[in-house]
A and B are shown apart, each in its own frame.
Chain A
Amino acid sequence: MPEFMAVLGIWLGAFFTLSIFSFLYKDNPFYKLAEQIFVGLSAGYWLIYSIFNVLVPNLITKLFFDFGNNIILLVPLALGIMMLFRIIPSTQWVSRYPIAIVVGTSAAIAMLRTMQTNLLTQVTATMVNPFQFSSPVAIVGTILVILGTICGIYFFYFSKKQEGIYAVPSKIGIWFLMISFGASFGYTVMARISLLIGRLDFLLRDWLHIIK
């Protein structure tokens, strides 16, 4: 029985794979069906994991089996229920309270962590003495990093009309950005092809057994 179910599962997987790929020819009922099934399964998956991996262990079990020590958890439970009031238009305002706490907390943490990781440490990492290296490649590369970073920020941040000498750093900044976008395009090609390989591998190996 499990062997039969595995084979059936692979045929099911092949059906869904081909249904999605059929969109390449044109939009059709098979694609539409597969798309909506995906949305439904995805929503169900998120719901089950939120219940079993978060709400049950972090809230329900604690309140059920050790209420005395976890009485404070009634607060997030109440806030969570208040969040659900958003469904009814006349009571939507109730959901603003939990949203405000969530947004305030995450904004503060995002601000602190971004300031340290994406701003201060990045500035420190840029300000390197290029001449400490012995290899000419590293020296030139480090100078390029300093120049490119400063010119890139100049391009983004100095919105005053840039003419003459003031336009030069912006121009250099754009060149660096173009190189980076080219690299990103290259990596995007790599990523997308990889995903296709995965699906064709499934069809040719697991379904058709052409690859052994």
Chain B
Amino acid sequence: MTSINRTVLERRIVFLVLAIAVALPLVFPLGLKTQVTPLTEKAYDLVESTPAGSVVLLSFDYDPSTVTELQPMAQAVIEHAWKKGHRIIATAMWPQGSQMADMAFADVQGKFDNSKVYGLDYVNLGYKVGGMVTMQAMGRSMEAVYPKDMSGLDYKDIPMLTGIKSLQNVKYVFSFSAGDPGLTHWIMVAKDKYDIPVAGGTTAVSAPGFLPFVNDQMQLHGLLGGLKAAAEYEFLLGYEGAASLNMNPQSVAHVLILILIAIGNVKAWRKRKSVQQEASKNA
């Protein structure tokens, strides 16, 4: 077998083993429990400590490619906010986000016997282009940016928005963010310009870059990073949702990746050793 064929074959074996490692725990869950981290607790506390009746803003800044990580977070935060009696404004800085918001609201409505009323308990203002510039404009006037909601209702005719003249009237911003525009810009505008508490949920890949914002200046009020944090939030709310179940294959796959790293290193070490032996023989 040529070395190229061997490499291709090895790669295909790795692919197959990974698919099996993820599929098996999905079919046969291991019942693993997850430990809550302080970052998730902090985000939870922000929602928990906000008084009932507050109008809050959840921004859906992602698309279907990251739905496995961010949708369970969005659902958990919506559920928590509704349990606390918050009224939710949904916005989207990504066009697909407004559809993600509708899906999340529809799923969580089931847990509340469809009792949450559109326009009173939540509203979907939809997508706006412009990222940070648009957020800054929201700080002056929400109605100027969102003259109508997704269904064509005038801003001033939506009952829960009476009294919400600008971004400065919402009690917190929670952004579910898969990149730019997203959480970074909400921190820049909502927190650092208008001093509104901001929390966020991000994909795991971007989570390490947000940690400098978790500081004494409270630029970020907690951070949900990836599927594990979503599972932690579900745990804090006292239920096992999609994220908790998906932590089973997630954990198994992590172990597989570590095994692959170990095998790869042993192989590289043996190769180095044989090259050295060869060199010493020739010398």
Query: Which chain A residues have a beta carbon within 8 Å of chain B's beta carbons?
Result: 24-25, 45-46, 49-50, 53-54, 57-58, 61-62, 105-106, 109-110, 113-114, 116-118, 121-122, 124-125, 128, 180, 183-184, 187-198, 200-201, 204, 210-211
| Contact assessment for B133 and A117 in the assembled complex, using a CB-CB cutoff below 8 Å | no
Number of interface residues of B (CB under 8 A): 59
Say which residue of B12, B128, B133 sits within 8 Å of A53 (CB atoms): B128
**Residues of chain B contacted by A193 (CB below 8 angstroms):** 22, 249-250, 253-254, 257
Q: Given contacts A190-B226, A196-B19, A211-B26, list 18 more A-B pairs with CB under 8 A.
A: A24-B12, A49-B95, A53-B95, A53-B127, A54-B127, A57-B152, A106-B133, A116-B188, A117-B187, A121-B192, A183-B208, A184-B205, A190-B254, A191-B66, A191-B205, A195-B69, A198-B68, A204-B23
| Contact assessment for A125 and B212 in the assembled complex, using a CB-CB cutoff below 8 Å | yes
Interface residues of B in 78-106 (CB under 8 A from A): 95-96, 98
B216 within 8 A of partner (CB): yes
| Contact assessment for A188 and B205 in the assembled complex, using a CB-CB cutoff below 8 Å | yes
Query: Which chain B residues have a beta carbon within 8 Å of chain A's beta carbons?
Result: 12, 15, 18-19, 22-23, 26-27, 65-69, 95-96, 98, 126-129, 132-133, 136, 145-148, 150, 152, 184-185, 187-189, 191-193, 203-205, 207-209, 212-213, 215-217, 219, 225-228, 246, 249-250, 253-254, 257
Say which residue of A24, A54, A122, A180 sits within 8 Å of B128 (CB atoms): A54
Chain B interface main SS type: helix
| Contact assessment for B217 and A125 in the assembled complex, using a CB-CB cutoff below 8 Å | yes
Say which residue of B12, B22, B187 sits within 8 Å of A196 (CB atoms): B22
Say which residue of A109, A187, A198, A200 sits within 8 Å of B133 (CB atoms): A109
| Contact assessment for A200 and B204 in the assembled complex, using a CB-CB cutoff below 8 Å | no
From known contacts A54-B129, A183-B208, infer whether A191 and B188 are also in contact, taking CB-CB under 8 Å: no
Closest to A189 in B: B257
Q: Separation in Å of the A147 CB from the closest CB of chain B?
A: 15
Query: Within the assembled complex, what's the spacing in Å between the Cα atoms of A69 and B97?
Result: 31
| Contact assessment for B219 and A117 in the assembled complex, using a CB-CB cutoff below 8 Å | yes
**Residues of chain A contacted by B254 (CB below 8 angstroms):** 189-190, 193
Q: Separation in Å of the A4 CB from the closest CB of chain B?
A: 21
Query: Within the assembled complex, what's the spacing in Å between the Cα atoms of A198 and B62?
Result: 15
Complex A-B: 27 CB contacts under 8 Å: A45-B96, A53-B126, A53-B128, A57-B146, A57-B148, A58-B147, A109-B132, A114-B188, A117-B191, A180-B208, A183-B208, A187-B208, A188-B205, A190-B250, A193-B250, A194-B226, A195-B69, A196-B19, A196-B253, A197-B26, A197-B227, A198-B68, A200-B22, A200-B23, A201-B246, A204-B26, A211-B26
Report the 10 A-B pairs with minimum CB-CB distance, sorted nearest first.
Answer: A198-B68, A49-B95, A125-B215, A191-B204, A113-B188, A191-B205, A190-B204, A194-B227, A117-B188, A57-B148
Q: Separation in Å of the B218 CB from the closest CB of chain A?
A: 10
**Residues of chain A contacted by B12 (CB below 8 angstroms):** 24-25
Closest to A190 in B: B204
Q: Separation in Å of the A156 CB from the closest CB of chain B?
A: 15
Q: Separation in Å of the A187 CB from the closest CB of chain B?
A: 4
Q: Separation in Å of the A58 CB from the closest CB of chain B?
A: 6
| Contact assessment for A128 and B188 in the assembled complex, using a CB-CB cutoff below 8 Å | no
| Contact assessment for A194 and B68 in the assembled complex, using a CB-CB cutoff below 8 Å | yes
| Contact assessment for B27 and A211 in the assembled complex, using a CB-CB cutoff below 8 Å | yes
| Contact assessment for A187 and B204 in the assembled complex, using a CB-CB cutoff below 8 Å | yes
| Contact assessment for A197 and B22 in the assembled complex, using a CB-CB cutoff below 8 Å | yes
| Contact assessment for B193 and A113 in the assembled complex, using a CB-CB cutoff below 8 Å | yes
Say which residue of A61, A106, A187 sits within 8 Å of B226 (CB atoms): A187
Say which residue of A110, A187, A195, A211 sits within 8 Å of B132 (CB atoms): A110
Query: Within the assembled complex, what's the spacing in Å between the Cα atoms of A137 and B219?
Result: 23
**Residues of chain B contacted by A122 (CB below 8 angstroms):** 212
**Residues of chain A contacted by B204 (CB below 8 angstroms):** 187-188, 190-191, 194
| Contact assessment for A197 and B250 in the assembled complex, using a CB-CB cutoff below 8 Å | yes
Determine which residue in B12, B26, B216 has the highest number of CB atoms from chain A within 10 A of its CB, and name it. Answer: B26
**Residues of chain B contacted by A113 (CB below 8 angstroms):** 132, 136, 185, 188-189, 192-193
Say which residue of A46, A180, A195, A201 sits within 8 Å of B26 (CB atoms): A201
Determine which residue in A180, A197, A211 has the highest number of CB atoms from chain B within 10 A of its CB, and name it. Answer: A197
From known contacts A53-B98, A109-B133, A110-B132, infer whether A194 and B219 are also in contact, taking CB-CB under 8 Å: no
